[in-house]
Structure 1
Amino acid sequence: MIEVEFQRGFPGLSLDVAFQAPAGITALFGPSGCGKTTTVNAVAGLLRPDRGRIVLNGRVLFDGRTDLPPQARRIGYVFQDARLFPHLSVARNLRFAARWRRGADADFDRITAMLDLGPLLHRRPATLSGGERQRVAIGRALLSAPELLVMDEPLAALDEARKTEILPWLERLRDEVRLPMLYVSHSVPEVLRLANSVVLMQQGRVRHAGPLTEVLADPALAPLMGAREAGALIAGTVVAREADGLSRVMTAAGPIWLALDRPPGTRLRLRILAHEVILSRAAPQGLSALNALPATVIDIRDGMVQLALGDERMLAQITPRSVQMLDLKAGAACHAIVKSVSVLPS
């Protein structure tokens, strides 16, 4: 657990930041210039706050009396550019991070295997692709035995092909390495695919910090992710492959049928955009849409209807005329008809 609370003034921007980050990936999300990189630099000890308190796993990194230097904070940092030593091989770049650690050889073998770095060990950074360089940078950060991993837009300098190459490794890192990670990004697709929780930042302030699913389905917060990105992220498990080829995915909101080829037992995250949801007060009949889920209206705000579907939350984007025509209000029962679903790895 990382606990962050600090203030720092700059010409034209005053940062006042407070949040907690559990195990898994916490994304710091917001527009350029809102203070995301400055925040993780303060956590890593690369920038000194004016005041505040930063605590990692109960260990004080910064407060009014303590200001540990970066090398004493046990934080691995992965920058936008890999910042590898160009004159060293991949193996020597990796071992540089672990040169003073006992048991580093065992970790070296484990981490190089996890990131599939074995074929690269004898090469120099200049001969690697952008995705390969970032994998090496991640391995080097892990070999420093960090208690926290910081990634400052690690995919920003990569083209789409290299992003596609490295995203599965970041997912594996999230699932297999049980330590908190702060991930700076302004890419909604990256946040949706990787993050467990999110810190929404705007003009040097934290607007909200919490589970990603809460942010996406909150009509007051979803617009900060982008109006076209508002919706829901629902966990599901493939339970059967039907005779017609569709897969039945069970969620807390009910079953959803999808055209996908995944074996039973596969866990998924289903992305349902607000503008892909139609509402009906009565159980729909005579429609081609297969997924119609019973729901209850929680809130209506700025053209967004927040819905409860069991323990899950969803948003539907409809016009004020539709709200009036359907007589929608808090507590009203309805059905959410889902037109399109994106499937993300769990």
Structure 2
Amino acid sequence: MANKRVKRLKLDAAIVKRLENKNIITCKDILTKSSLELMKITGVSCKKINAVISLAGRSCCPQAQSLDRVLHGGLPMSSLTEIAGPPGCGKTQTSILLCVMAALPISLGGLDSSVIYIDTESAFSAQRLVEVAQCRFPSYFNSDERLVNLTNKVTIHNVTTCSDLLYRLQNLEEEMIRKNVKLIVVDSIASLIRKEYDNSVSGNLILRSNILSKQATQLKYLAESFNIPVVITNQITTRLKSSKHDEKTTNSYGDDIEPETFVTAALGDSWTHSVNTRLLIQYVDGQYRQIIIAKSPIAQCAAVNFLIEDKGPVEVEESLVLYNTGSMPLVAAIQVQSDVMGQQIPYQLH
């Protein structure tokens, strides 16, 4: 699409001729020039040139991915979107790609804005951010100046305690206004909670619930006040499956049977109700992952496979599965790679 001819953009014939005289033949050629350069070449106003750049950018943009279509255009504004999954499944990779998309010019399908990335695990990599940008949009990120501009648009805040995170969230408004922030990422929400609040200690569960409630309230306030998406990554945990029988049961031979367990998103049911959209990531095999829309107020439950490549998560064509019932089954076969003999564990969906 980047090699689409300028002649096919239905521009004024005089503009096309002037562009071609300067060897600007394709949409890609237009996007490698600044607005000022194009104004000098064509002799038209800034408003008209911006319209030309926007048209060329839309022509270069790939068609919306199937997951975006199911979500009616992408991540919902003014709400909290959680990405939960096992370690190494692609949560941070997805978050980094979202940073690139938010920083892209509007003409290329981005928001032309800044991002605040709150890193609780020191997982963010500026080198990976640049790699994803260069590999995914090589015709745009083709100069050091644009790459530096990208990195300047992503502000990293490293926090190490739950109180630090809450303080940071409560003091973001001025920075968001000053930097034109249109995306907040918290990676991850569970890391600090799990470090500071051991559930086996009496009273910690109440303290944990209180701090999580305050963090969720502040995140919702920022999302709604600035009409932006807020993305939060979450870890997973193993629980005992509830049963009407006693936890300790026996089979027909009288042998003890260990209670059945399942894997679910961490932080409990109260946190589940705090997020508006829940995306779950599972392993399909050693190469493929699958992202599932498990909870959404506007979208049908669906799943799509993807790969992690140099340019970030890449959707596998024709892998979309829609659940016509309107909701996911209570227990779905979401696979989690285990360190023990490669075992896989079912994932509980809420």
> Which interval holds the TM-score relative to the shorter structure?
0.3 to 0.5
TM-score (norm 2): 0.37
TM-score (norm 1): 0.37
Which structure dedicates a bigger proportion of its chain to helix? 2
Point out the structure with max Rg over C-alpha.
2
Which of 1 and 2 has higher RCO (CA within 8 Å, sep 6+)?
2
Which structure dedicates a bigger proportion of its chain to strand? 1
